[in-house]
């Protein structure tokens, strides 16, 4: 049947409309696709590129090289050594147990290492690298690298680890580093992302702790490409961080080593200080410990050995230990009396061997008495009765004030751990802390450094330096940071006049050089190096009358830990003081040779090594030479300051 022209025209119109609609739809679809492609390829390109990179690229922090620590002469105290380790990233590893088991066939991985690794993995995000084992040998880290395809998520790392080349010598001052602990994260107000890296080490005690921010540096960043199983294919780019600052201490490493050797076998401390600058030249405490053991993870056996040692090697006795200063405190009592005008330099006081206060007798150490003595003679012979008498005239308040001015009872601002404040007691202190009134007997005891008075070896060295210089010498430990010297604060003068200081010095010269001096056996023969000093004995406990009846009459008759402490402070040369030294020997006893030990340390500091034997009295030279042969000294050689990494 033939269609009419009209029907044909109508059909053509319908087809044209449909084609137009279909074409328009197709055009709209093509335009939409084009716009979407433009949106994805141009507008959102950065976002999709980032998503793609995150699938194949890992971004990791690079720990900075820790700053080095040198002594005053450029000798390395704390450095960094190459460290090889194996790390695991949980999100790349898949089956962690299986991967660790395979790793254990290549390196000596203990059960404790596996347990620790799994614990650290649970504590951190899946993309954080966890150290499985460090301090690997080159052969071990090579085996890990070669077997990389069979160890998804495991990567050999090459970094730096802290090392202390002088071992025990600087342990108490410099301290050591260790991994960031949970308590560190809780206690530190520090948002540095480096602290989140498992195994990252920070200073735990000493200079390493107190100057942590200076030594740490800032993190770097690296981007690494990994394949589908997490194996590192290549490093795409790296932005190194800022290494920590190198610091230089005022300590003299050779003098420090000699002081430790001279004190060997004792539970003791010695501090040497420059009397003009306040630089600490030595700050020794014996016995010491090996800080490297703490860096590597100290064993229970080693730690228990340190902890249970009755000589307390983990304690820095030089700044943490506080002791009754004994007769060394007579310097303070004498200065207080002179300043207050309660005694004249040439005024004599009779010592019959005791003083009666109420119904109690306070005895002098010399029960026969010293007779009539002035201030210089009282210091030279260490007459207790003289200072008992002048202390009652002065009173405890002025004595405590003078003690503070001389550096006792003061927490000196140094970058070391647990610096003790000591104690200069007065009436208010006793009322507050003992809930008792101050008694005359308390003043008498304080006058000779007993009773409640407590001082550290550091404080005693400062007292000696201030006595030598007549100025408020401020101790310091930090010499420079990245080669820039730390300014020295000029010390102001003491509040006592020069005549008073000279009067005290005259008595201290007599202690060592006078015919009746209590430390005459420690004198220096070289006139240009003559020493002034003061002996001291701090009582640990009284020997009862009942004990005396059984033959217990001195320190040699009682256990070591019940014997008195031996002290000595000194400075030299007498006419132009350069160095002051203090020494405390725990339970050394009243007859201990603390003064000769301090003298030897002082001479070593002044001569920059062993003093010539002619510096000693002729009768002592053979003995001195023989004792030197017994010392075990470290061979310490300077290293170039330009060397930035050890």
* Token pair in block for residue 123: 């504590």
Backbone φ and ψ of 579, nearest 5°: -135, 140
CA distances from 36 to 40, 44, 52, 412, 510 (A): 6, 10, 19, 71, 99
Q: How far apart are CA 274 and CA 279, in angstroms?
A: 5
The radius of gyration of the chain's CA atoms, rounded to the nearest angstrom, is 37
Q: How far apart are CA 209 and CA 342, in angstroms?
A: 47
Backbone φ and ψ of 636, nearest 5°: -110, 125
Catalytic residue among 327, 417, 469, 538: 327
- Strands 247-249, 280-286: parallel, antiparallel or unpaired by DSSP? unpaired
Query: Sign of the C-alpha dihedral, residues 611, 612, 614, 617?
Result: positive
The question of whether 480 is a catalytic residue gets the answer no
| Number of neighbours of residue 306 by Cβ within 10 angstroms | 18
Q: How far apart are CA 238 and CA 240, in angstroms?
A: 6
Q: How far apart are CA 204 and CA 295, in angstroms?
A: 10
Q: How far apart are CA 332 and CA 320, in angstroms?
A: 22
370 CB-contact burial (10 Å; exposed 0-12 / middle 13-18 / buried 19+) = buried
Residues facing 268 on adjacent strands? 286, 585
- Name residue, tokens 């201990």: 592
Residues facing 136 on adjacent strands? 84
> Residues with catalytic annotation?
327
């Amino acid at each position: 049947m033939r269609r009419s022209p009209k029907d044909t025209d109508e059909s053509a119109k319908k087809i044209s409309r449909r084609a137009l609609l279909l074409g328009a739809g197709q055009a709209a679809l093509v335009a939409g696709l084009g716009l979407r492609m433009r949106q994805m390829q141009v507008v959102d390109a950065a976002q999709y590129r980032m998503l793609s990179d995150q699938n194949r690229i890992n971004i990791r922090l690079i720990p900075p090289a820790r700053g080095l620590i040198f002594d005053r002469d450029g000798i390395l105290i704390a450095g960094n050594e190459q460290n090889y380790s194996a790390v695991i990233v949980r999100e790349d590893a898949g089956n962690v147990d299986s991967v660790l088991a395979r790793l254990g066939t290549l390196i000596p991985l203990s059960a404790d290492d596996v347990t620790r690794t799994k614990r650290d993995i649970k504590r951190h995000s899946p993309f954080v690298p966890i150290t499985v084992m460090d301090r690997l040998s080159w052969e071990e880290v090579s085996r890990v690298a070669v077997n990389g395809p069979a160890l998804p998520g495991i990567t050999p790392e090459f970094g730096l680890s802290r090392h202390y080349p002088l071992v025990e010598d600087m342990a108490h001052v410099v301290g050591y580093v260790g991994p960031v602990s949970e308590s560190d994260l809780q206690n530190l107000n520090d948002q540095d992302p480096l602290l989140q890296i498992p195994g990252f080490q920070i200073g735990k005690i000493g200079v390493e702790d107190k100057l942590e921010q200076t030594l740490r540096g800032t993190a770097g960043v690296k981007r690494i490409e990994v394949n589908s199983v997490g194996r590192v294919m290549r490093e795409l780019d790296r932005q190194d961080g800022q290494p920590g600052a190198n610091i230089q201490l005022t300590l003299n490493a050779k003098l420090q080593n000699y002081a430790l050797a001279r004190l060997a076998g004792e539970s003791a401390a010695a501090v040497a200080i420059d009397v003009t600058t306040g630089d600490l030249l030595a700050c020794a405490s014996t016995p010491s410990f090996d800080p490297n053991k703490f860096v590597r993870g100290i064993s229970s056996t080693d730690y228990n050995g340190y902890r249970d040692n009755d000589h307390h090697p983990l304690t820095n006795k030089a700044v943490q230990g506080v002791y009754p200063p004994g007769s060394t405190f007579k310097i303070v009592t004498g200065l207080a009396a002179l300043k207050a005008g309660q005694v004249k330099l040439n005024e004599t006081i009779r010592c019959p061997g005791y003083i009666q206060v109420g119904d109690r007798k306070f005895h002098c150490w010399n029960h026969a008495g010293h007779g009539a003595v002035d201030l210089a003679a009282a210091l030279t012979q260490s007459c207790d009765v003289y200072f008992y008498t002048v202390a009652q005239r002065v009173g405890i308040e002025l004595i405590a004030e003078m003690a503070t001015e001389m550096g006792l009872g003061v927490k000196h601002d140094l970058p070391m751990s647990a610096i003790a404040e000591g104690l200069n007691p007065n009436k208010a202190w006793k009322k507050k802390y003992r809930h008792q009134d101050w008694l005359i007997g308390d003043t008498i005891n304080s006058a000779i450094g007993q009773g409640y008075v407590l001082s550290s070896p550091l404080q005693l060295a400062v007292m000696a330096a201030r006595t030598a210089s007549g100025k408020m010498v401020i101790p310091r430990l930090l010499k420079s940071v990245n080669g820039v010297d730390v300014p020295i604060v000029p010390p102001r003068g003491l509040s006592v006049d020069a005549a008073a200081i000279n009067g005290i010095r005259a008595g201290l010269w007599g202690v060592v050089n006078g015919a009746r001096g209590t430390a005459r056996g420690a004198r220096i023969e070289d006139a240009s190096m003559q020493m002034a000093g003061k002996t001291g004995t701090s009582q640990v406990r009284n020997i009862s009358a009942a004990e005396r009846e059984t033959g217990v009459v001195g320190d040699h008759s009682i256990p070591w830990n019940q014997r008195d402490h031996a002290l000595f402070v000194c400075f030299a040369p007498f006419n132009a003081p350069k160095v002051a030294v203090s020494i405390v020997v725990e339970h050394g006893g009243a007859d201990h040779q603390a003064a000769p030990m301090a003298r030897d340390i002082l001479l070593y500091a002044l001569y920059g090594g062993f003093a010539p034997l002619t510096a000693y009295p002729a009768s002592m030279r053979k003995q001195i030479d023989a004792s030197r042969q017994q010392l075990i000294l470290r061979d310490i050689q300077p290293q170039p300051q330009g060397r930035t990494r050890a």
